[in-house]
Amino acid sequence: MSRTRGPVAATGGRGHGVRAGGRGPVAAGIALGGVLVASLLGAVLIGPAELSAAEVGRSLATHLRLDLLLGPLGLEVEPLSPIRDGMVWHLRAPRALTAAAVGAGLAVCGVVMQSLTRNPLADPYLLGLSSGASLGAVLVLVAGGAAALALLPVAAFAGAVLALAAALGLAGALGQVTPTRTVLAGLAISQMCSAAVSFVIFWSVKGDAFREVMSWLMGSVGSATWTSVAVTGIATLVLGTGLMLCGSILDAFTFGESAAATLGVDVQRARWGLLVAVALLTGALVSQSGSIGFVGLILPHAVRLVTGARHRLLLPLSALAGASFLVWADTLARTVFAPRELPVGIVTAAVGAPVFAFLLWKGRSRA
Amino acid sequence: MTDRSPSSPSITPGRLPAGQAPPTSAPAAPAPAGPGREARHQPQDTGLAADRVSWGVDGRLVLDGVALAAPGAAVTGLLGPNGSGKSTLLRAIAGVRPPDDGGVVFDGDDLLRLGRRARARTLALVEQDAGTDLPVTVHDAVLLGRIPHRSLLAGPSDADRETADRALERAGAAELADREVATLSGGERQRVHLARALAQTPRLLLLDEPTNHLDVAAQLHTMRVLRTLADDGVTVLAALHDLNLAAATCDHVVLIDRGRVVAAGPTAQVLVPEIIEPTYGVSCDVLRHPRTGRPVLTFSTAPVPGSVH
Ligand SMILES: Nc1ncnc2c1ncn2[C@@H]1O[C@H](COP(=O)(O)OP(=O)(O)O)[C@@H](O)[C@H]1O
Ligand SMILES: [Mg+2]
């Protein structure tokens, strides 16, 4: 399994602890999977209202119909009181799972965008997706009303997809869709949408609506329901898995587009396919959580320190790490200033910015 | 795209009748073929043959009906002044930037019609200055060359790793295996890219100024690697800007200028003052290498009386 140059590989890895082909990657995957499960359980346990592990277990067992399994064994599962049960099953569980799905999806999208544009500053929102989604969401929030609120995810998704179409259209109108043009077109669309969002807020948002809008703009999973879990979970499972299977294609882009072409990759098709998949996934995530920053930017960098740029490792490990990261960030967001809650985007930025600076410092030998 | 028989373009000693104004008189006395390599001629159905390859941008023809042949199991040098279209031609042949017109045949296969992955298993292109900011180790970078040889869903196999190790050794980069590509010097990176191309196990190897950034020993090492590859049956076409390097190692050279072939043929017949002087606009004398007997070119800027510009 390992390469013949054993001693060199063992000592000369320059921090690349996880070597291709060894048992390392699998072990790392299992470890990160374990961390994620523990994080999810921790997130459901931790909070201002004291819930014991036994209570959480009883609630989960009841809803997952484990009593059917345990009953014949002589183990009675006594249901919780509706209020405490609701806390586990209707508040904390969907919230933690949504955070996990969003974190995983954003991390995968971040890896793909950075590798595809070969730009270390790229993130899932690069093509104006978050600004487009924000515009859609803010317009709905301003229009107000309960019915409008139900439309919010749809409007956000539509905004994201329209922004993507505009950005790619603009990049295409400039000529061949090169990474630089993609970045610049995304920036232009992003700024335009941001200006529109600011204008709408400045013009018409007051009071409670203002807090609602701000919380959405900063990103939050505070109002996650089982619908959010379904939307983000399915999007991450389907599109995220699809992206994860493109590891070899992304590898081929390591030295640029013509190097990818000489390795047999259909560069145009690969680029469009990957960009559209990233946009749809990001749009689905943003529609439920708002645009949570920094996850898609720093997680890929952090995981790359361990895996190197081998995407077949980098993608799944980033997904797992991103999921755990956002679960903990959200747990912090609702507990540090409890009973007041912060939008999780503030926490990811507060944690992410220094981590990002540290990663830049770690990688200084390269630049 | 026009179809044509694969064997139509052939190496003509001296000039190609490519339709352009021939630069003055033909070389009066073709230099005697040096001992060994120049004498070797392959049958024309092996090797690379490009015919009437054209590519333009913004209404300007960068490649204007280029016809060239690179015989199998030989090293062919692609020479020409800066901006003459060498890189563009290599990319056209490699299918990275398919030509607007013309055909490229290799060992009887139409390269431009071959599937992408089949083409990537047939030929490799080493481009200039391909860098990355990503933290990728040299060994992993060389392993990329195996991508066309396996399913896109599969990871590198043990055999792939061994091929990569051998490619690294052959390119003289084995000791770099665990370094990060972004920390390498230009010359070291050049060797890594050569190793990546070798890991592709191509039958046709295209190189764009592979000796850039290299010191003289490393240049000679690279050219020796190309020689041994050719001896193993690989068709090698390398864009070179150092005419003396081409003179010392290439079996054949193709000289292009402003997107057209000026001359092509055995090295000693093309690297003569009558051809070099008008193309590069310098004065040139050709000496014999005292030990190898191969041409050595010396240059001066003085205008040459009697040369036509
Ligand atoms: N994509 C492009 N757009 C515009 N001009 C190009 C492009 N690619 C190459 N050229 C032009 O084509 C000519 C040949 O370039 P190139 O093949 O790089 O020359 P060489 O490698 O021989 O120095 C140059 O004048 C260059 O400016
Ligand atoms: Mg060039």
Is A62 within the bounds of a domain? yes
The CA B220 to ligand 1 mean position distance, Å, reads: 27
Please give the full DSSP string across B41-79, using - where no structure is assigned. Answer: ---TTSEEEEEEEEEEETTEEEEEEEEEEEETTSEEEEE
Is A5 within the bounds of a domain? no
| Ligand nearest, relative to CA of residue B89 | 1
A267-289 and A129-143 helices, crossing angle to 10°: 30
Which is more confidently placed, B65 or A148? B65
Handedness of CA B27, B28, B31, B37 (dihedral sign): positive
B178–A9 CB contact, under 8 Å: yes
Handedness of CA B47, B149, A259, B95 (dihedral sign): positive
The atom number, within ligand 1, closest to the CA of B90 reads 17
Is A8 within the bounds of a domain? no
Q: What is the CATH number of the domain that holds A45?
A: 1.10.3470.10
Query: Chain A, 259-298: which have a CB under 8 Å from a chain B CB?
Result: 259, 261-266
Window from A40-49, A146-155, B120-129 with minimum mean pLDDT:
A146-155
Range of the domain at A260: 22-366
Is A259 within the bounds of a domain? yes
Q: Exposed/middle/buried for B88, CB within 10 Å: 0-12, 13-18, 19+?
A: buried
pLDDT tens-digit map of A283-311: 889 888 888 989 999 999 989 888 888 99
B1/B3 Cα distance (integer angstroms) = 6
Is A7 within the bounds of a domain? no
CB-CB neighbors (< 8 A) of A266 in chain B: 116
Predicted local distance difference test score (pLDDT) of residue A230: 94
Q: Which residues surround ligand 2, an ion (CB under 5 A)?
A: B 87
Window from A146-150, A245-249, B302-306 with minimum mean pLDDT:
B302-306
Question: Which of A243, A358, A251, A317 lies closest to A17 in space, CA to CA?
Answer: A317
CB-CB neighbors (< 8 A) of B179 in chain A: 14
Is A67 within the bounds of a domain? yes
What is the mean predicted confidence (pLDDT) over A3-27?
Answer: 48
The atom number, within ligand 1, closest to the CA of B62 reads 12
Q: What is the dihedral of CA A248, A254, A256, A262, to 10 degrees?
A: -50
Q: Smallest CA–CA separation between A121 and chain B, in Å?
A: 11
Is A345 within the bounds of a domain? yes
Q: Exposed/middle/buried for A121, CB within 10 Å: 0-12, 13-18, 19+?
A: exposed
Say what the pTM is: 0.84
Q: How many CB pairs under 8 A join A and B?
A: 121
Residue A159 Cα distances to A134, A231, A235, A319, A329, angstroms: 7, 17, 17, 25, 26
The position carrying tokens 């013009």 is: A203
The position carrying tokens 């979970």 is: A233
Is A16 within the bounds of a domain? no
* Complex ipTM: 0.81
Q: Count of domains in chain A?
A: 1
Residue list, ligand 1 pocket, CB within 6 Å: B 57, 62, 80, 82-88
pLDDT tens-digit map of B240-292: 989 999 999 999 999 999 999 999 999 999 999 999 999 999 999 999 999 99
- For B134, name the nearest residue in chain A, comparing CA atoms only: A309
CB-CB neighbors (< 8 A) of A262 in chain B: 94, 96, 120, 123-125, 127
Residue in B53, B62, B125 to alter for ligand 1 test, most ligand atoms within 8 A of Cβ: B62
For chain B, say whether A364 makes contact (Cβ under 8 Å): no
Residue B25 Cα distances to B14, B66, B280, angstroms: 11, 21, 16
Q: Which residues contact B160 (CB under 8 A, 6 or more apart)?
A: B143, B146, B149, B150
What is the mean predicted confidence (pLDDT) over A138-157?
Answer: 78
What's at A207, amino acid-wise?
G
A343/B146 Cα distance (integer angstroms) = 46
State the distance between the two ends of chain B, measured CA to CA, in whole angstroms.
35
pLDDT tens-digit map of A34-92: 999 999 999 988 877 777 888 888 888 888 877 677 777 766 777 778 888 888 888 89
